[in-house]
Amino acid sequence: MRDFRIAVGNSLKDKLGELGFFLKQIVDVARAIERKHLYQEYPINAEMNQLNYYFSAYLNAIQALKDGFQTATGVALSWNDLSPTYGKFIFYCRNATTHDGYHLINAIKGGKCYIAGPLRRINRRENLIEFDPPQEDIQTLCCDISEEMLASLRRVLNRNDVDIPYDDEADSKKYFQESLDSNFIPLEVRALMKANQHSIEKSFEGVKIDVMQKIFDAIASVEMIVADVRT
């Protein structure tokens, strides 16, 4: 379990980078649609499709972060904990795109793209669920969601009882030993590693990877994307 938590913790910075990547793609495509609408350069079907593709990926990145933070920190994280304003909406949209295959961004007003409601889907209990989406245009909405969610994740990391495990010297030696048997490393490289094993393992002494700081830095990077959009 510890090894798994280490692996997930090490991946959180990359998942945050993924969130920032898809957020930026959403903003770029939404702005391209706005420009085309302004200059009446139609059709915009391809751009609308791209926008929905990126939004679906953005929602999956949020789901991955929610699950990953729970695993790495051991802190239970509900959708309301993650985003008090938009948690239920994110949950609805992620299910609608993943399980029903919906393209949710379906309206344009003044060149800006929206999710028009009411939204309807059938849940696992065969009950009809109706949901009214937020009124913000898609790039504003995604920035608002990201901002609130990142603040929640930062609060989780700042809790006194949160400690994400990290690789220690013994872990580094274990991974090095495993790499000596890896078919993805050329034989001549493995031979060189084995010849220098003592000095390589010696270099692991006292090395500490600050996983928490890397996650904080990744959160700050996404927050900068949001800030740039808002300027």
Which pLDDT score, from 0 to 100, does residue 120 have? 82
Residue 105 lies in domain: 2-166+210-230
H helix intervals, the chain = 2-38, 45-73, 79-82, 87-99, 138-157, 169-179, 187-195, 197-202, 211-230
The reply to whether 180 and 156 lie within a common domain is no
Token digits for 212?
């928490």
How far is Cα 162 from Cα 179, in angstroms, rounded to an integer? 31
The reply to whether 204 and 214 lie within a common domain is no
The whole-model pTM stands at: 0.90
The reply to whether 220 and 199 lie within a common domain is no
Which pLDDT score, from 0 to 100, does residue 121 have? 79
Give 204-227 pLDDT, tens digit per residue: 887 777 899 999 999 999 999 999
The reply to whether 226 and 171 lie within a common domain is no
The reply to whether 6 and 105 lie within a common domain is yes
Which pLDDT score, from 0 to 100, does residue 160 have? 81
CB within 8 Å of 98: residues ≥ 6 apart: 56, 59, 60
Give 56-101 pLDDT, tens digit per residue: 999 999 999 999 999 999 999 999 999 999 999 999 888 888 877 7
CA distances from 73 to 3, 25, 91, 166, 221 (A): 13, 29, 21, 11, 21
Number of domains in the chain: 2
84-96 burial by CB neighbour count: b if 16+ within 10 A, else e?
A: eebbebbbbbbbb
Residue whose token pair is 């913000």:
136
Give 20-42 pLDDT, tens digit per residue: 999 999 999 999 999 999 999 99
Token digits for 216?
């904080």
The reply to whether 92 and 56 lie within a common domain is yes
The reply to whether 14 and 94 lie within a common domain is yes
The reply to whether 149 and 201 lie within a common domain is no
